[in-house]
Structure 1
């Protein structure tokens, strides 16, 4: 009596599925780490988390959320060819309030970074004369980037 052998095709399918299960999380984590390592993003996050004005408005400590974002985009293929860009829409949270964080920066042909960033407080809804207004809404900090990716504050 001869034992039935599995066809080579089913082994290949199992191997591919196994590799996918192992590599998919690694690629996602690696892609996220790469995206958040862009010089303008890393330096802007550091500036925002240490800014006294942002801390006064939102409560201390201040943390920029890069794990859970509305949008985080950076293309590794374009970055390797010298046309790097990063785009982020996320949240800045303090102990009492939160604000929106937006960053867009580009480095074309390795010439240097250009773009903008802003932290905008949405305010608090306050009932006045039969309708709600957003009290205290406005930018907490805004700026652009030096060619090396260092953020330059334009407005506080």
Structure 2
């Protein structure tokens, strides 16, 4: 059944300037600052024992770029999944998969479900929310962080390839 589902490309829901400043909340800004401070402290301790010392500008640039990678993964996106066999069955399968990956359901309706991170409060960002919405009889819209959308796409592809392999073995 899953092998007949097709996921659309991920659509970016953020404005272009977000690529220059990907921080979306105070908690992200705090975590970014903590990672940069820790990275600079580690490199300063290592650099003190190096001869010649690495250029300061290059060191700072590397730490800032490395610390910003998780922020880009949490930028919002949207993906539509077309299920030939019906959206409600796929909706339930996606629900099971999202819950299995550590998310908890935070809201629900007839055709909408919202999820938040199941991590302790200090480890989760509000930007990592995910929502599922049945658009019509065969389409489900998934909105959330691009990292989560890519993981759902990988899961769909792996299940599809397993199903295809099982069909080929039985034939």
TM-score, normalised to structure 1, is 0.26
Task: Please identify which structure carries the higher helix content.
Answer: 2
Task: Please identify which structure carries the higher strand content.
Answer: 1
Q: Which has the higher contact order (CA 8 A, sep 6+)?
A: 2
TM-score, normalised to structure 2, is 0.24
Who wins on radius of gyration, i.e. which is larger?
1
